[in-house]
Structure 1
Amino acid sequence: MEDIKGLIDFMIQVEKLKAVERQTKPVGLDRYENSAEHSWHVCLSALILKDFANEQVDIVRVMKMLLIHDLGEIEAGDTVIYSSETDENKQLERSGIQKLFQLLPKANRKEYSSLWDEFEEGNSPEASFAKAIDRVPPLLHNIHGEGHSWKKHNISKEKVFAFNSERISKGSNVLWLEIESRLNEAVEKGVLR
C-alpha cells in the first residue's frame, strides 16, 4: 500500500509541470507553451522520427527520458537554453528531481534517477537522440513565430547554429540537415539574425 500512496503523491506533484511556462510559443498560438505540453510534443516527435536516429535506439527508453527530463523545472523553472547550461541551474534541477523522486518507491526512484542522469550526460544512443529531439520544437516555434524568443532574448544566429548543430547532429545527422536548412531559410527571411 505504501508504494501506491507514493506513486499517487508523485502523480499529484508532477501536475505542477503544467504551470511551468517555457520561453517559446507553440506554432500558431499567441501564448507561451508549458513544460508538460513540451514533454508530450517531444515524446511524439521522438516516436515519429525514431528511424532517423544515428544509431538504433530503444524508443521506449527515449520516451521515458523525455517524459522525466524536465521534471526538475517544477522546482527550478524554465530558462532560455542558451543561458541555462550553468552549474547553478543544473544543481537547481538536480535538487528538484531528487526531492520529487523521494515520493517514489525505491525501484522507481532508482530507474528514473538513472534515466535522468543518462539524459543529462547525453552519451548513450538513446540520450543523444532524446537530446536532439528536445531541441527541435523550440526551433520550430521560433521559425514559425517570427523568431519571438530569439529576438526577446537577443540570441544570435551564430549561437543558434553552434548550440543546435552539435546537439542535434549527435543524435540524428539527417534531422540536423533538415533543421539547418529551415534555419537558413529563417536567416534569409530575417527571422533569425
Structure 2
Amino acid sequence: MAPDRREAFLGFLALADRLKHTLRAAHTGDRRENSAEHAWHVALMAVTLAEEVSPRPDLGHVLSMIAIHDVVEIEAGDTFAFDDAGLLTQLERERAAAERLFGLLPAEVGRRLRDSWEEFEAQETPEARFAMGCDRLQGFLQQVECGAPAWKRIGLTKTRSLVRMQPAIDLGAPFAPMIEALYERAIGQGLLVP
C-alpha cells in the first residue's frame, strides 16, 4: 500500500472514531446515546431481522449502508427527528460533511462510500428501505426504553410521530407489528400524547 493511500485510510478511520462523541436525543441508562452506539444497534437489528423480510435483502450491502449512514454527523451533528429548525438545514449540512469526509479517502473508496450514503438517503432500493426500517425502529425503541425524555420535552403526539414512522410501517413485516407494539407501550406509559 502506497504511503499516501495508507495515510488517507488511517486519517479517515481515526476521524470516524469521533462518531462515538456525537450525542443523540435518546438516552441509554443515565446518559445520552451516541451515534456510534446507534449505528451498532441498527446493524444488530438488520442482522437479526434480515430473514424476516421477503425477499431477503443483501445483508452485506445493508450493513455497509448502516455503517456509514451517520458518519456525516461527525461534522453536521445529529438532528433530532422532531427539530423543525434543524431539519430545514440538515440535508445541506450533511451533504457538505459527506463531501469533506468521504473526500479524505482515495477517490474510488470515497466515491463508493458516498454512493452508499446517498443510496441510504434516497430510499430507492430494497436494501436502503430495509436499512431505513431498522434505523427508524432503533430510534423508536430507544426512546421507549429510555422513557422518552426528548419526546416528553416537546409533547410529541402520535400523529406527529407517525409522519416519521410511517415509511417504516409501510414496509410491512417485521417493522409494522413491532412499531405498533411500541406505540401501544408508548401510549400506555404516557410517553406520547395520544
TM (norm. structure 2) is 0.91
Query: Would the aligned equivalents of 1:62 and 1:127 in 2 still touch at CA under 8 Å?
Result: yes
Compute the displacement of 1:185 (Å): 2.7
Query: Is 1:14 the equivalent of 2:19?
Result: no
- In structure 2, the partner of 1:108 is 109
- When the two chains are superposed, the root-mean-square deviation of aligned CA atoms in Å is 1.7
- Write the distance in 2 (CA, Å) between the matches of 1:54 and 1:87: 35
Paired residue total? 190
1:52–1:172 CA distance, 2 compared to 1 (3 A): farther
Compute the displacement of 1:170 (Å): 4.2
Larger strand share, 1 or 2: 2
Query: Is 1:182 the equivalent of 2:182?
Result: yes
- In structure 1, the partner of 2:144 is 143
- Write the distance in 2 (CA, Å) between the matches of 1:162 and 1:102: 33
- Write the distance in 2 (CA, Å) between the matches of 1:79 and 1:154: 18
User: Structure 2 regions of 5+ residues with no counterpart?
Assistant: none
1:88-127 matches, cutoff 5 A:
88-127=89-128
Query: Would the aligned equivalents of 1:54 and 1:171 in 2 still touch at CA under 8 Å?
Result: no
TM (norm. structure 1) is 0.91
- Write the distance in 1 (CA, Å) between the matches of 2:169 and 2:54: 8
- Write the distance in 2 (CA, Å) between the matches of 1:123 and 1:115: 12
1:156-175 matches, cutoff 5 A:
156-166=157-167, 168-175=168-175
Aligned to 1:24, the other structure's residue is in SS state strand
- Write the distance in 2 (CA, Å) between the matches of 1:87 and 1:173: 31
Query: Would the aligned equivalents of 2:79 and 2:87 in 1 still touch at CA under 8 Å?
Result: no
Identity of aligned residues (%): 31
- In structure 2, the partner of 1:56 is 56
1:105–1:172 CA distance, 2 compared to 1 (3 A): farther
User: Structure 1 regions of 5+ residues with no counterpart?
Assistant: none
Query: Would the aligned equivalents of 1:129 and 1:172 in 2 still touch at CA under 8 Å?
Result: no
